[in-house]
Structure formats: structure tokens, C-alpha cells
Amino acid sequence: MGSGEIIMFYLMFGCLLESQCEMNKNEYSAVQSEEVHLRSAERLRELCCSNRGTFIKVGQHLGALDYLLPEEYTRTLKVLHSQAPQSTRQEIEQVIREDLGKEIKELFVSFEDTPLGAASLAQVHKAVLQDGRTVAVKIQHPKVQAQSSKDILLMEVLLLVVKQIFPDFEFMWLVEEAKKNLPLELDFLHEGRNAEKVAYMLKNFDFLKVPRIYWELSTRRVLLMEFMEGGQVNDRAYMERNGINVNEISRNLGKLYSEMIFVNGFVHCDPHPGNVLVKKCPTSGKAHIILLDHGLYQVLSESFRMDYCRLWQALIKADMKRVQKYSRRLGAGDLYPLFACMLTARSWESVNRGIDQSPVSASEDMEIRSNAAAYLPQITQLLNNVPRQMLLLLKTNDLLRGIESALHTRASASSFLNMSRCCIRAVSTYQRSKSLSLYRRAQISLTEALSLWQINLYELFLWLKGSQLGNWVIALLRRMHHSTY
């Protein structure tokens, strides 16, 4: 979902939350509430499927918000992650014929008619090349180019109408963002280059797998990739069946995105569950994360990335003066408390106490859900004020929180420790690049090493505290302590 579609998301999202609040006011019974939610969710799914394109992307985003929306919505809209409306065989043949100049039977030994998955812009088929390689063939829906232009026009009209009703509603710039981002998402050669760039950038993570691109049979509308399969990253049952450690997957996903955001400033911005798969390697037994769909990336400027790093460091340390300082530098102004809550998906009380101090409680979850509708005007104002780079990061945060919620791994201490490591490395690298003094650079490196060592020590302490060995050591120390008195 590009920046231009965020407005459509928030309009639909606002309606969902308003209806939920209205039901709470009218004290609906649990059964009545479930029926209303389910009926509304099914209508919303039909709306997305009928209009396709941008609407599918909005539905995918809503379907990933397990931590915020009622289960009836997320369960109903999850099908859009991989089962959106499909193009026909004839339409697929036409795109391949026009772009590659050959028929399907000339290019492939076999080509499965049923797509592996269908999304808003394209669908993916499994096929075997003449040389025996098994590939995934991503084919753009033939009408999506024309449809995307209509979607942008519709967005522009919607924004003008809303602007007339609510004069303070300043979002016309989103149309320009859509015009900038959508052509990039529709260019599969651009997507292929992004895939190769991120694979090289994150080559040190042996758990990450990015499908190889076969350039000789790729065009702007057809992308041939190495075939990879697995379960969706939010499918806890799949992981348990296949002996995959859920906490390890959540931890590695956090490492991946912390590295992209804080260290590299090159961020995959569409991590809905259909684009992130997991699979256990049959030979090594290690769990792999497979990252798909590289059409939408956000490149972060150095100054933005440093402010964002320091803001997260302040949030993790509960340093409210610095939270306010760096939130303001990122455009939040007096709405910095709301900004901190949106970034962390935690209540303001938890932010003040320290987001790593306690997991999300049921009452806090309810507070977040109810406040989201109440603060919609302020959210709108905030989105209008922050840098454009922030919009896709907010959406990425939403999707990652949804995955953590589905896996029941939200707010784990290890995820914040990994973020802290990346922030320290990123800030230290930046400071060294700006320092002309050899002594100062050595000082920065020493401070970095000590900070990372402290984090490692704290992580060891947490591991010992939660392990059987740690309990045995603590018990032994207590007995030794008591025996001296």
C-alpha cells in the first residue's frame, strides 16, 4: 500500500472503529456484536473484491491488524493476503504473449492454472522451465494499469469532498504520493532490482531467503523468480506442526526490520502475512524467513533515520524529554504523546513506564482500540504533519504489530534489545562519519562496544532468569547466602 492509499485506509478504519464504539454505547450483547461485526466485515470484503486494486491493498492492511480490530474483521479480510480476485487464463496468456513474445507452452514444460496466490496488482503461478528449473511467475493483472489511474482519481475526488465537509482535513498531498509510488509498484523490473539490493544488504542473516530473479524472462509486467514456498508468518498452527520456534521467528523478523530501518535506511514496506513466509529447512533444521513482493520500499534520509533511531532509544529507555524532543523533530509537535502511542502500539501510561517493562494487558488492548476512534481527527492532523517517509514506516509498524499479535509475541524484551543494538550501531556509524579526529572516532567505537556489551550482558541475565539453569544457580546462591548467617 503506497502513501496515497493511507487516506482510504484511515477513512475505512475510522468507520469500523466508530461502529464499534456505537455498539459499546448501545450495550449490544456479545452475540449481537459478533453478528454485526461479521456482517460488516463481509460487506467490506465484497467492496474490496469488487473494486480491486487499491481497495484490495486497504483490505490486506485491515486484515493484518489483529491487535486493534475485532476478530470478525481480521478473520474475514485475511483471505485478501493471498486469495484476492484472479485474472483468467486467457488474460494471463495475453500478458505473457505481449511481454515475452511467446506462448506459455513454448516457455514452460508445465504451468499451473491455479495461482499460488492472487493480490491487488498481480498473481503468482508455479511453473517449470524448459531446462527443468521450477519457478514462480508473477503476472500483473492486465487491467490494473487503467484501474490504478481510476483509483487515484477516485482518491482525489474523495479528498476534495472530505475537504469541503471538514476544512481542516489537509491530505491533498497524498494524491501526489500515490502518483509517485504506484508506477514503481507496477514496474516489476524495479521490484527485481529491489529484491537483489535487499538480499545483498542483508546477506549476513542466514535465516533470510529472497528469491533469485531470472532476468532473461522478466519484464515490467512479468517477473520470473526462484520458486520458494512456506507457511504465512502469522500462522502459528503451521509453525507448531512443523516444529518451528515461534519466538525465534518473531525475534528474527524484528532483527530484519531493525536492520533495514535503523542501519540501512532501505525498508520493505509491505510485510503483510502473504508476503512473509516461514519454512523449516529439511537438511539443516533451521527456520527460514522468505521475503516476497519487493515493489514498495522506503528510502530514509540520513537525518530522518538518525532522529528516528534516537526517538526509539528514548522510547525504550522511557526518557520522556528525549521522546518529546525527537518526536517534535519528526513533525509531531504537541501531539508527541499520540505519536509515541502510534509508533509503539502502547498506551501513554505504558510509554511513560517503559515499553519493555511489561507485556500488553487485555485492558491496555481495549484502551488502544477505544481511543483509536476517539483520536481520529488528531491522527489525521499528525499524518499531515510528519515527513512523508514516516507514513510507510507507520504502515509497516502496523503490519509487524499484527504479526506479533497473531503469534502472541508482542512486546518481548528481546525485540527491544535487538532494536537497541541496531540504533547504537547506526548512531555510532553516523558519528564516526562526521568526526575528523582519530581520537574521537576511537572514543565513539569504545562507547559503542561498551553499550553493546551491556546489552549482551542484560540479555544473558534475562536468559538465565528464565531458564532452568538460571533458576538452579539462583537457588544455589541463595543457599550459600543463607549458610553464611
User: Looking at the annotation, which residues are catalytic?
Assistant: 270
Cβ(333)–Cβ(345) below 8 Å = no
Element holding 232 (H helix, E strand): strand 231-232
Q: Residue 29 is placed in which grid cell?
A: 450483547
Bridge partner list, 297? 268
Q: Residue 382 is placed in which grid cell?
A: 499528525
Cα separation values, 403 from 10, 233, 277, 362, Å: 20, 7, 12, 17
Element holding 361 (H helix, E strand): none
Q: Residue 383 is placed in which grid cell?
A: 499524518
Cβ(379)–Cβ(338) below 8 Å = yes
- Edge-to-edge strand ranges of the sheet holding 287-291: 208-209, 287-291, 276-280, 231-232
Q: Mark residue 82 as left, alpha or beta (left: phi above 0; alpha: psi -120 to 50; beta: remaining).
A: alpha
DSSP one-letter string for 115-141: -SEE-SSEEEEEEEETTS-EEEEEEE-
Q: Residue 128 is placed in which grid cell?
A: 517449470
Contacts 24+ apart (CB under 8 A), 199-203: 201/260, 201/264, 201/266, 202/256, 202/259, 202/260, 202/264
Using DSSP's 3-state secondary structure scheme, residue 426 falls into: helix
Q: Residue 377 is placed in which grid cell?
A: 481527527
Identity at 421, one-letter amino acid code: R
Separation of alpha carbons 456 and 299, rounded Å:
30
Separation of alpha carbons 243 and 279, rounded Å:
10
Cα separation values, 321 from 120, 341, 378, Å: 43, 15, 22
Bridge partner list, 222? 139
